[in-house]
Structures are given as C-alpha cells and as structure tokens.
Structure 1
Amino acid sequence: MNFLDPSVWAGKIYTDSWTDGSAGSIDILEPATGAVLGRAGMASAEDARLAATRAARAQKEWAAAKPEERAAVLRRAGDIFEAHSAEFDEWVQRETGAIGAKAGLETHVAANECFDAAALPHHSAGDVLTSDADHWSFARRVPAGVVAVISPFNFPLILSIRSVAPALALGNAVILKPDPRTPVSGGVMIMRAFEEAGLPAGVLQLVTGGAETGAALTEAPEVRIISFTGSTAAGRRVGEAAGRNLKRAHLELGGNNALVVLPGADVAKAASAGAFGSFMHQGQVCMTAGRHLVHESLKDEYVAALREKAENLPVGDPMTGAVALGPIIDENQRDNIDRIVREAKDAGAVVEAGGTYDNLFYAPTVLTNVDAENPAWVQEIFGPVAPVLAFSSIEEAAEIVNASEYGLSVSILGDVGQAMKLADLVHSGKVHINEQTVMDESNAPFGGVGASGTGARFGGYAANIEAFTETQWLTVRPEIAPYPF
C-alpha cells in the first residue's frame, strides 16, 4: 500500500479525523496533461470554524506535553518525508508541474524543516530579568495557541511545512489551508506524515478550501496567529482582517526582484544566474528575478547570452522527458503572464526570445527596450519572463531597485566591493551577492519589506520562536507582598 493511499484521504478534509468536507470535493488536475490525479475534499467556512474550535481544545494537552515528546514527533515526521520521498516527489511533480529537481528539493526541505523544528522544544523558553523589586522576574515564551497556515500553489510543501513544523514544535495547534490546486503536496502529505508520526488527533487540522475558508480562519476567535504566503493583494485582505480582529499576521507576499549585473562581471556566469533566477519553476516563485538591471557596458552581451539560454531551455511535461521548464499551473495564470507580455510589447518592449505558449507551456521570454514604466517592469509577472534594463552607476541602480513597491530579494553579480556598496543602498529583505535571487534555507531568516510582506517571519530559531509564541512576564516572591491598602 502506498503511504498516500487515496482510500484514506480522497474527497476528505481532516478535522480530528478524515471526514467529508461540507463543500464537497474537486478534481486534482495535472497541469502538464490535464489528467485527473484524484479528488480532494473541500472545506466550507463552517468546517474552518469547527476546525478552530477543535484545534483549541486539542492544543492545551499538546502544549503540556514534555519537550522530548514533541521533539520525537517532529523527528519521526522528518523520517517519514525521507522514507517516502520518491512517492512524495512524484506528487509534487505531477500536481505542481515541477521538474524532478524542484520536487526533490521540496521533500528534502520538508524533512529538514521537521528536523530543525525538533530542536525548538528544548530551546530556552525565556530570560531572567533584573528587577528593583524583591522578586524574581522572568520573560518567558509560551505557545500562542492556534495558528492558521494558509499556503500557495507554487512551492506548496515547503511553504506549508516551514510554518507547520515550528508552530507544532513550540506547542501550538495548527489549521492548514493549502491552495485547492495543490491539496496533496500542500496538505495531505503533511497531514499524513504527522498522523503517522504520532501527533495527537486534533493538533493539526486540514481544511482545503477557497477564499471563504481562509476568511473564516481570520475571523475565528480561537485563531491567534495567521501565517499567510501568497499574493500581495490577498495578503492585504488577510492583514486587514487580522488587524480588525487583533490577531498577529505573518505575511510573506509577492516580489518583483532585481538581479543587478555590475560592470566587469563575467557575462556568461551572470546570464546563467539570470536564466535560473527568472525561469526556474516557470518563474512561479515569489523570489523570481523579475527585473534584470545590467550595466550599460555589458547590456548587449548579456542580452545575447540570456537570449541563447532562453531559446535552448527545453519546455515540456516533466514526467516524460528531461526538461528545464514545466507547465504553468493553470489557464488563468498563463493568460495573466501573456497579458503582461502583450501590454509590454504595446508599450514598446522588444521580444528577444519567447513570448509564445502552447497549452500551459510558456516559452522562456526575454524582453528589451523596456523603461521603468513598462508593465513588464512594474508588475509581478509570476512567469518565465526576463525584462532587461541598463543602468550607468551604482546610485542609479539603487534608485531603480528601490522604485518598486516590492522588497523581497535582490541579487548583485560582479565585483564584491561594488556589490557591498549597492547592498547598503537597497531596500530588501534579502540580498545575495554573486548568487541569483531564488534562495531559502531553513535556518536563515526569510521575509520581505514593503509590498513583499511584514519582514522576516520564517526561518531560524529566533524568527520561529518570535513568530509562534507569546512573551509573558512572570514574577515570583517567596511570600505575599505587603501593600499599603
């Protein structure tokens, strides 16, 4: 029997147990072929509210569990991701349209997120504070309670588990709402892994659903923290609802990330980095290199090298051949990519490569003759499109980078001394010198500024503890204190 045996989860959600969702079920489609991979249960708003109530009930006992008990569950979950990686990889490939390397990365990172989180239960729970009063004074970290995790379709396993694992490890209950286009990679396989790892029933709930399901989680009184990864537009709505209900929202949103090629840079290596940054997973990554700023002395040479890369990267079904790019997730996303490219052309852009599609397979695209007002330069495309613009000085490059409302990731390629000067001038949650824009490690702080989100809320012990616990002030005296009343 396969670990992800559909007879367990097909057409179901998980609220204390596998059960039918009140909103019915939907087909799980393979983007590359249109084939139906299975059926996913769909949760209604009422299901989400019920999950919040049940999670709050289960959380108390889980928070009281000994640290070694919670750590053991996280380690076993990590072992399960490793033991069943081949099966999980295939689901990620077929459900998200990923090439094999991307799928393998997701399951590898999922295991590591669990292993890293397993250290959190034994981490220091606070500080001893100095005080002028005759008492002991402590600032201690306590579980927040119920955490809602709302994750997207592009890297569904990583972008779910990076919140689920540390939140559970720190004694919280979690309600997971994956994108309905990727319910297995973003939900079922995590639910099954923790179920088999011995997590008590109710501590993790799975409510695949649409916007109304997510909205119900933001309104549910039991939910204290909302961990959301997705578009900036949706993130603004989540943030507004969280603020209205006095909840904490950790928002990791969109990006229009800049890759800067400095004068004197190795053009062949820079073009390789630029191609990976823009075309990896069809550009469907929040960290995708959406703007290529190239020093005017190298622009023509860089465009030629990037065009050659784009024209020779194979595109197709990742399950049937060695390809570099798979399909776009669905027609709506593909049409939005193509709309922006057509609008860019209407505004004067020149298509150096690509700009066409076959079904859901969009060709790697390079655009030149763009300016700072061109739609392809201003908007987050979320597709395999690389607009190129020249700059003349470090100061001009910084001004162009900072002109975007987004601030997630910046890549600077070339002389390290010049790169350091530019790094000090740009507004970005992440800066990578002599590496491209797409990078994530479980022990590193991750997050953006501006329209890219509310800062580094993921990765590393400090960020995770800050994200998923509350700080409580605790004082202790040997006997009741005297008072003048």
Structure 2
Amino acid sequence: MNIQRENFMDAVRWTGRAYFSDWASTTTGAIDVQNPANGEVIASVGFGSAQDIVRAATEARAAQKAWAAKPAAERAQILNKAADILEENGPELIDWIMRESGSTEPKAAIEINHGALFIRQAATLATMPTGLLLPSMDDRSNSARRVPHGVVGVISPFNFPLVLSLRSIAPALVLGNAVVHKPDPRTPISGGFIIARIFEEAGLPKGVFHVVPGGAEAGEALCQDPNIAMISFTGSARGGSKVGEVAGRHLKKVQLELGGKNALVILDDADLDIAASNAAWGCYLHQGQICMATGLVLVDQKIANDIAQRLAEKANHLPVGDPSSRQVALGPIISDGQIAGIQKIVDDAVQKGAKLLAGGTHDGRFYKATVLSGVKPGMLAFDEEVFGPVACIASFETDEEAVELANRSEYGLAAGVISKNLARAMAVGNQLNVGQLHINDQTVNGGPYAPFGGRGKSGNGCRMGGPADIEEFTQWQWVSVKDQATAYPF
C-alpha cells in the first residue's frame, strides 16, 4: 500500500490552527513561521494560550482511558502504520524540516529515518512484559504492574524538532498515555504538525494526541494543569530548571533532557586525521546546535597543534549558506539572539588569550565554522555551552589531567575518548561523569535503542529510549487479591 500523496502536508488543513481532537483555531490567533535562512514566511500556525492548553489537557484526559484499554497489539499497529506514513512521505517532509529549522538535506533525512526508528522501537514496548509476581505474607496473591501515568505533556526544542518530539511522544502513546505536545513555536510543523498528520492518517483515536504551539505561557500551563501527570522536556538547562520548579510544585513527574558541554578526549596515540575528523563532525554538525555537540576538544599537548591545524583546515573548507542550495555543509543559526551569544563566547576567548585559527565571524545568521585553540578554564568557551559551530581546543599533559578537565563541567551529557589503546581509552572514559560514553567516537550519537540522558545540568537523571521508556512513561501499581474479604478485629 502506497500511503504517500503529492501534498501530504496540505496547508489548507492546518493553516492558522492547532491540533486538538481535530484541527481548530486557538484563542490567541496565529503566528507566522519563518525560514531562518532567509526570513521567508513559510506557514501560519495557531499559537496556544494557557486556555488552549486547558482545553487540550481536558480532552486528552477524557480520551486516555479508552486508549489505554485497547489491546496492546492494536496500539502497536497504529504506531507502526504511522512510521510507514512518515517514511513514505519523507521527500516532502524533508523539505519542511530544511526550510523550518535551517537543516541541510542529509540532516533532515536523518530526522525522517530516526523518527521512524523511534516509532517502531516504541511499538515493541506495547507487548513487552510489564508485571511481576510478588511474595506474600499471608494467603493473598500479590503482583506489581506498570500502568500509564494518564496524560503526558511534552515540550520539545527547535534543533532536531521531529526526532526530539517523537522520542517522547511515541513511547508515551504506545504505553497507554494520552499526550499534549507543545513544540517550539519556531518549528511547530517539523516538531508537531507532521507528527499530528502521521498519527491522524494512521488512525489514532481522536483526543489522544494534541499539538499546541506556544510560548512560556503555554509551557507553564502544561506544568500546572491538574489533568497532566507527567512532563517530558527537552531543551536548555535554564528552561529545564523552570519546568522542574513549576511541575514540582504541582507534584508531577518530570523528565528533563537538557544541554551539554561535551568533551572529546584525544589521547596522544590517536590517528591525527581520524581524530580531527571526529572533532569536526562533533563540533559542526547542524551548526553545533545539538545538545550532544562536542563542546570541548581536549587534546594531549604533544599533538594539540597538529589537531588544531587539521581542524582549522577543515573549518575553512566547510561552506556555509542557505541549505536550499544543496551546496552547503552548515546552514543558518536559528535566531539573531543565538548569533549574538555565539559571538560573545568567541570574543571572550580571544580577549583572554585563545587563538582564533578559523572563522569567528558571521554573515547574518550564517556563522562560519570556527576554531579556537588555547582555550582554558575561566573562558566562556571552556565553561559554557556554545550551541554554535565552534571547536574549543584545550590541551592536557596527562590522562589524569584530561579527566579532571572534562569533569570540571557542571554538565554531564556525553563524552568521547579516542585512542589506539582500547584499555587506556576505557580507563579514561570510566572516570567521566556523563550519561553517554563513546569510545573511539565523537559525542554526537543517538538512537532509539539506548537509554539517553545526562547528569548534573544535563538532566535530572531520567532516561528515554530503549529499556528506559517503560520506566519513564508508566508507574508501578501494587495489586493484592484475596479469595474473599475477611473480618478485622475493629
């Protein structure tokens, strides 16, 4: 069956609207969505208020019980059909992701591919064992089973809008929850409406899934609404702190996947060309706008200059521009404010003694691939997440110092170690305080099969993906059964 159609994302259906139990207008009207590469208005979507979140949460709660009562195989079937629809309409959807998020075509294609994988992996959870028989102190039988939370609120970011939305939405749905989703208002189509369309076509019952683009007001309403039992948030540490604070006051479960200052440790026996290639990929993929981006390249001082020169050469040959040309490696930074933040970090490093070996400038929102060497603690480039295409190179004298420098960060998302000596690389890696460790690879790795998350400012210890999803999107319920009620002495 070919589900693809020439205009799957027919804008007549959703222009100026949000997705409740059906496409409908919001109380506050619509906003324009712009292409960050050229400022072109590509769509108009409904912008949600707190009142719209209340509507969505109320409708979701009303629909959730019937959805959870469906046979697990039926829920899984709907998800697998949604994955089929996503893949078969990929060529059209890739174009939306490119225009809305500033992605290059290969990066947008990764989102389609990985998005379908996340949905299919989630579908397998529906038929996994979710209960235990427990010992008893009397003649009753005892069991523990995992049950849905009810309604899950999802808040997702702009950088990988499709994948970073689906990795929460898909497992939450298949495990019997309803979902109210607030995508970033800069990427509401890639991060929300595409997902609404594939589930709509796949036959997901009305009311089970809602997409309401919105700002801080809508996000706060999600965290406060009594119909919502859990919040799954992906974004900055600052935003996550606010979400955790508000949701905590309302006693909701909170899953936070935040930023990172991820170290790639290159030991002195590494192949120089391969190590530089890993560093460039980790630093520059999607303009560095990735939570797992290589934020700090820690290199043994004996090879630091060699790595820096190779990185500078790569940076100088990476074309930057509008991804629609299909001729660039780096697209636009998402906003003017983010450009200003990147420039502040680069300028601070240079003023404090770092060497600018490549880049360091921008043309509008197109920031050149940049290399800073001699980065040290106390510089913003060492301490803060850049979220831009900047390779920050710091050197170390011993493996012990490499570990100390990597662990200085308040973040703890990902790390990589590159060495020809596997035992040595593991010895270094085992000491790093991160949620994801990659030996002989850079830091940008993700997928549906492994628990994903971080420590410290990178998250609250929660994980999503693979075996972690059942733990996150359901909760234990103890069930005890007596053959018949017995009298008590009172």
Aligned to 1:475: 480
Q: CA deviation at 1:281?
A: 0.2
Q: Which runs of 5+ in 1 are unaligned?
A: none
Q: CA deviation at 1:132?
A: 2.2
Q: CA deviation at 1:378?
A: 0.6
Within-5 A mapping of 1:380-399: 380-399=385-404
Correspondent of 2:423 among 413, 417, 420: 417
Aligned to 2:411: 406
Correspondent of 1:28 among 33, 41, 46: 33
- Structure 2 distance, partners of 1:275, 1:112, is 26
1:373-411 alpha-carbon deviations (Å, 9 max, x no partner): 111111111000011111011111111111000000001
- Structure 1 distance, partners of 2:235, 2:32, is 22
Partner letter of residue 437 of structure 1? Answer: T
Aligned to 1:216: 221
Within-5 A mapping of 1:238-387: 238-387=243-392
1:181-238 alpha-carbon deviations (Å, 9 max, x no partner): 0010000000011011101111001110001100000000011110000000010010
Q: CA deviation at 1:322?
A: 2.1
- Structure 2 distance, partners of 1:250, 1:354, is 37
CA contact (8 A) 1:48 1:213 kept: yes
**Structure 1 stretches of at least 4 aligned residues deviating more than 4 Å after TM superposition:** none
- Structure 2 distance, partners of 1:286, 1:118, is 26
Aligned to 1:445: 451
**TM-score if structure 2 supplies the norm length?**
0.97
Q: CA deviation at 1:442?
A: 0.1
Partner letter of residue 210 of structure 2? Answer: Q
1:23-58 alpha-carbon deviations (Å, 9 max, x no partner): 211111111121111111101111011111111001
- SS of 2:210's equivalent in the other structure is strand
CA contact (8 A) 1:429 1:456 kept: no
- Structure 1 distance, partners of 2:374, 2:117, is 43
- Structure 1 distance, partners of 2:399, 2:353, is 26
Within-5 A mapping of 1:429-440: 429-440=435-446
Partner letter of residue 420 of structure 1? Answer: M
Please tell me whether residue 17 in structure 1 is matched to residue 9 in structure 2: no
- Structure 2 distance, partners of 1:157, 1:63, is 24
Aligned to 2:143: 138
- Structure 2 distance, partners of 1:210, 1:187, is 14
Correspondent of 1:152 among 130, 133, 157: 157
CA contact (8 A) 2:415 2:437 kept: yes
Partner letter of residue 436 of structure 2? Answer: K
Aligned to 2:202: 197
Aligned to 2:107: 102
- Structure 1 distance, partners of 2:374, 2:108, is 35
Correspondent of 1:454 among 441, 451, 460: 460
- Percent identity among equivalent residues? 49
Partner letter of residue 160 of structure 1? Answer: S
Q: Which runs of 5+ in 2 are unaligned?
A: 1-5
Please tell me whether residue 176 in structure 1 is matched to residue 170 in structure 2: no
- Structure 2 distance, partners of 1:402, 1:459, is 25
- SS of 1:410's equivalent in the other structure is strand
CA contact (8 A) 1:446 1:455 kept: no
Partner letter of residue 463 of structure 2? Answer: R
Partner letter of residue 209 of structure 1? Answer: G
1:235-256 alpha-carbon deviations (Å, 9 max, x no partner): 0010011111110100000101
- Structure 1 distance, partners of 2:195, 2:461, is 26
